[in-house]
Amino acid sequence: MIAGRDLVKKFEAFPALDGVSFEFEDGEIFGIIGHNGAGKTTLLKIIAGLIAPTSGSLRVNEIDVVNDPTALKAMLGYLPEESRLYETMTAENYLAFFGEIYGLSPQEITVRSRQLFAALSLEPNGKKLGEFSKGMKRKAAIARSLIHDPKFLVYDEATSGLDPMTSRFIADYLRTLRKEGKTIVLSAHNLYQVEAICDKVMILKRGKVVAFGSMKELREQFGSLTYTIFFSIGNPDRLVGHTKTYRQEEGLYVCDAESMEELNESTSLIAEVGGRVEKIESKYPSLEEMLLRIGK
């Protein structure tokens, strides 16, 4: 369990985090999202014990991270937003180097490295990290974060800037890690991926939590279904001057409605101007729409 209470982080007088509280249960994936500068990286660094909050408390299991950040090291794997790799090292040596730091024996390092390379579909073959592609570098950094088999993982933008296949591969791998019982806290701008893999999502805005919960809970908080109405009309000129905005798709006219009332109002208007509703699609707001709604 990771539990934060009233976390505040000020840089000079600027509050990057402004009273953030949460509880993350074991064995789940938590996504932290928000616009640029919302405070995601700051929160992840605090959770990883890398920077201290100005005030507030943070417990990871029984560890008081604020007062004893080093106690967390053995059970935590951190992936920074941009991991500077040791470009002249081979991936094998890179993992061995970090394995030693975590007190693993040479045998343990060999076994664990092999497992991780296989799981991540990484074939290092003695290549230097500097020669790796961006995707391979990210996988090497992920392998490093896992070398000591930590229970908690804090990943800052694990898949940003990667091609769709590698990004998908890593997302699937995070699901595998969850199955193995790991607790993962991640930040991401790829909201589609957050929706797909996270059990709970926290939305930060200017250092404050504006929403936190499962996708279902967030949907309830952000309002229910929205509707798209597809209609045909014999004389489209009759739409001129209408208050609703229309577009054309698939040879039909289309308009959106944010609620059931608006839906009823729109279908009546369409009927009034001689149109015919062909189909109505409904959908829940996506994370992207939620973020757009909360604004910067």
Instruction: List residues binding ligand ATP (CB under 6 A).
Output: 11, 16, 34, 36-42
β-bridge mates for residue 59, sequence order: 3, 64
Q: How far is the CB of 50 from ligand ATP (least distance, A)?
A: 11
Give the chain's end-to-end CA distance (angstroms, integer): 30
| Cα dihedral sign, 280-286-291-292 | negative
Q: How far is the CB of 11 from ligand ATP (least distance, A)?
A: 3
Q: Could you tell me the smallest distance in angstroms from the CB atom of residue 254 to ligand ATP?
A: 33
Please answer whether residues 21 and 29 qualify as being in contact, where contact means their C-beta atoms are separated by less than 8 angstroms: no
Of 41 and 228, nearer to ligand ATP (C-beta) is 41
Residue 82 beta carbon to ligand ATP: minimum distance, rounded to whole angstroms: 10
**Residue (40 or 112) nearer to ligand ATP, CB:** 40
Measured from the CB atom, the residue of 32 and 95 that comes closer to ligand ATP is: 32
Report phi then psi at 23, rounded to 5: -135, 125
Q: Give the tokens for residue 10.
A: 């000020």
Q: Which is nearer to ligand ATP, 36 or 245 (CB)?
A: 36
The enclosing H or E element of 287 equals helix 287-294
For residue 76, give the 3-state DSSP assignment. Answer: strand
> Which strand (E) or helix (H) includes residue 33?
strand 29-33
Quick one: tokens of 48? 């990883």
SS3 content of the chain, % helix, strand, coil (to 5): 40, 30, 35
Complex with ligand ATP: residue 77 or 207, whichever CB lies closer: 207
**What is the nearest approach in angstroms of ligand ATP to the Cβ of residue 190?**
12
**DSSP state for residue 285 in the 8-state scheme:** P
Q: How far is the CB of 235 from ligand ATP (least distance, A)?
A: 49
For residues 27 and 80, which CB has a smaller minimum distance to ligand ATP in the complex? 80
In angstroms, the CA 147 to CA 111 distance is: 10
Tell me, what amino acid is at 45? K
